[in-house]
Amino acid sequence: MKGEQAYRMAIAGMTCAHCEVTIERALQAEGARGVRAYWRRGEATFTVSDGADLSALQRAVQAAGYTPGQIVEMQEPGPAPVVFSPAGVDADLVILGGGSAAFSAAITATGLGARVIMIEEGTIGGTCVNVGCVPSKFLLRAAKVYHEAGHHGYAGVHTAVLGVEFDRLVAQKRELSAELRREKYEELIAYYGWELVRGRARFAGPDSVAVGDRVVRARAFLIATGARPSVPPIPGLEEAGYLTSTSAMELDRLPSSLGLIGAGYVALELGQVFRSLGSEVTLLQRRPRLLPDYEPEVAEAMGAALERLGTTVLTGTRILRVERMRRGRRLVVLRNGRKEALEVEQILVAAGRRPNTEALDLERAGVALDERGAPMLDETLRTTNPRVWAAGDVTLAPQFVYVAAYQGRLAARNAVLGLEEPADLSAVPEVIFTDPQVAVVGLTRAEAEQQGYRVESAFVPAQAIARARVDLASEGGVVMVTDGESGRVLGVQAVGRHAGEMIYAATLAVKHRLTVGDLVESFAPYLTMAEGLRLAALAFERDVAKLSCCA
C-alpha cells in the first residue's frame, strides 16, 4: 500500500474565504485529501499518495484562476504557517520608498501577515498624488473650463472669460493634494499597522539597510524609490535656469511664453495647461513627427488639435544651446539644416525620467544596474540579489501609478510567499489627458507585424461617433488592430474628448483575447465614447457611416 505525504503549496490571487473554497475543491478534484486553503497566508496544505503528479495539482489551481507557486514537503500532515520574522531579522519586508508602489506592497504584505517596515526620507505619497497625476489633472480641468468659457461652440450660449489668478489656482491644487495624501497614504499606515521610519536608507550589505545609526535586517527588501525628471545636457541650460513638471505646477504667475523641451505626455499635458490659460507655448521635439510611436491617425489628430489651440510644434529640432537674457531665455536650435533662435520667458524640461538609485549604495547589496541606472530585474521583479525586489517608477516600467501599484503587489507576494509569479505588462493602457484625449492599449500595426501576425486594422473617425458630434469635438477617432486569422483584438488607439473613459473596455478586450465578433455582439451604450470601440469592430465589415443609430 502506498504511503501518503503532506505538502504545502504557495498560491497567489486568493482574496477571501470563497477563494479558499474554490482552491480546496480544485485540489480535491485532482485527488488531494485533507485540503485546507488559507487566503491570508496565500497557501494550501494537503496530502497525496507517494508518487502523485504534483504538477497536476498546480495546473488545477491555475485552471481555477489563481497562480500556483512552489510545493514544499511538510514533515507532518496538517497546516504549517509561513514563518514570519524569524530570529535575527527585524521585518519580513523592508520597503525603501513611500509612494504608490511602496504602499501597494505594504498593504499586500501586511494582509498576508508579514511584518513590514517602510523607510521614506521625503514626502509620503510619491509622485502621483504630490507632483504628478493629481495636480496635473486638476490644472488640466481648470484650464479646460477657462478655455471653453470662450470657445465652447454652442449657439446661443453666452459665457465670459474674466481672467486667471494662477496663484489661487495653485493654492487650491496644493489643498487637494494634501487632502488625498492624508486620506490615501498617511492615514493608512496606522490602519494596516506597518512601521514608518523617517530618513534616507542605504544598503549596508546584502541583507541589511542603514537609516542614520539604525541598521535594519529583513528577509526581503523592495526598492520603490521612484524617479525624477531627466535633464538633458544642453549647453547653457543649467546657467539659464529651467522648470520641471514639479516646479512648473508651483509657479505663482503664468509665464507670458513657454518653451517645452520634449513632446511626450507630460509635455503635451502641461503645454495644454499653460496654452489654454493664456501663455504662448512652443513644443520642441527632436524626432521628425509628433507622437512617432503612435498610429498616424492619432498623431495627425493630436497635431490638428494643438494647431487649433495655437500651440507651436517644432519637430526635427535639435537644441544647440540656451542663453540667459535680461527678460527670459533664448534657445538656439538647428532645424531643417538651419540655425534658428527662439526667445521665451520660461523653459520647461519634460524629456523623460531618471530612477532614484544613486544614494542607495546598491553595490553593497549586490544589486546591479542597467545602462539607465535602473535595477536589473528578472520577470518576477527580482534583482541580482535574491533578497531584493524592485517596483514602480524606479524600474522605468511605464510611468503610471497603476503600473507601480501592480508591481508593488506582485513583488510583495513574490517576496513574502516565495512565489515566482512573472509580471505581465502586455495590456497596459496609456492616456494623455489633453483635449482631445489620447488613449492606447496593446499593439500598434507595426508592432503586430513585427510579432508575425497577419494584421488587419480599421479606423472609425470621430465624426461617426455620436458622442463626439454632440460634444462638437469631431477630431480624431478609433483605430483597432486585429489578428486577421482569429479576429482577436491586438490593440486599440483612440483620440477623442472621452477617449480615456473608453480605454478600460479596450484593455479588457486585449487582455482577455476578445475578438471583433465579441465586440460587435456586445451592447455599447449610445452616446458614449465607448460606442466607438464597437463601431471600430463593425468597420472591419461595414461602412459605419451608412448605419442607423446602434445598428
Catalytic residues: 14, 16, 19, 66, 128, 133, 549-550
Residue 454 grid cell: 497577419
8 A C-beta contact, residue 298 and residue 431: no
Kindly provide the b/e burial profile for residues 240-256, where b requires at least 16 CB atoms within 10 angstroms of the residue's own CB. Answer: bebbbbeebbeeeebbe
Angle between helices 133-151 and 166-181 (to 10 degrees): 140
Q: Which DSSP symbol is given to 536?
A: H
Q: How far apart are CA 287 and CA 335, in angstroms?
A: 11
Q: How far apart are CA 439 and CA 462, in angstroms?
A: 14
- Helices of type H across 418-465: 445-450
Q: How far apart are CA 239 and CA 228, in angstroms?
A: 20
Closest CA to 346 of 277, 274, 268: 274
CA count, 13 A, side-chain hemisphere, 164: 25
Residue 470 grid cell: 454632440
> What CA dihedral angle connects 177, 178, 180 and 181, to 10 degrees?
110
Location of C-alpha cell 510611436? 293
8 A C-beta contact, residue 225 and residue 96: yes
Name residue 429's beta-bridge partners. Answer: none
Angle between helices 100-111 and 401-417 (to 10 degrees): 40
3-state secondary structure at position 282: strand
Q: How far apart are CA 490 and CA 260, in angstroms?
A: 33
8 A C-beta contact, residue 434 and residue 127: no
Closest CA to 516 of 494, 549, 492: 492
Q: How many helices, marked H, and strands, marked E, lie in the chain? A: 18, 25
* Encoded amino acid at 271, one letter: G
> What are the CA-CA distances from residue 219 to residues 103, 120, 157, 186 (Å)?
18, 19, 64, 25
8 A C-beta contact, residue 286 and residue 352: no
8 A C-beta contact, residue 394 and residue 59: no
Location of C-alpha cell 472591419? 540
CA count, 13 A, side-chain hemisphere, 462: 26
